[in-house]
Amino acid sequence: MNKKLYVGGLSYSTTEGGLKDAFSQAGNVVSAIVIMDKMTGRSKGFGFVEMSTEEEATAAIDMFNGKELDGRAVTVNEARPQEDRPKRSFGGNGGGRSFDRNQGGSRGGSNW
């Protein structure tokens, strides 16, 4: 059964290929992904590696946790399931400020 690992503290220059190559020293890497910021296209500094067996995952944790990868000490541990998060609302009735020109904001006695 495949085992997913969290890899934190990655260098911004670490690529998915580099992550896969490094972790292949511990066994068969099913997948490797570096999480990217949607706005900037830059790495968020963490990723996930999926190993093909529990034993290989344990070997990868032992081999890389606290060790240097691309100039940065990385944290490697078993990935936890993603928690459900409330949906985010952008706009509508969820907050922000409205401006009522009759309640202030005027300058020099002028009400617009």
Residue 83: its pLDDT value, please?
81
Q: What is the pLDDT of residues 90-102, one digit of tens each?
A: 665 555 555 555 6
**Distance between terminal CA atoms of the chain?**
69
Mean pLDDT across the chain, nearest whole number?
86
Is the model more confident about 12 or about 84? 12
Looking at the structure, give the CATH architecture of the domain made up of residues 3-73. Answer: 2-Layer Sandwich (3.30)
Q: How confident is the model at residue 20 (pLDDT cuts 50, 70, 90)?
A: very high
Residue 38 confidence (pLDDT) above 90: yes
Q: Where are the domains of the chain?
A: 3-73
Q: Span 3-16, mean pLDDT?
A: 97
Count, in order, helices (H) and strands (E) of the chain. 2, 6
What gap in Å lies between CA 67 and CA 71, rounded to an integer? 9
pLDDT value of position 85: 73
Among 96, 30, 26, which residue's Cα sits nearest to residue 62?
Answer: 26
Quote the tokens at residue 84.
């459900």
pLDDT for the residue 107: 53
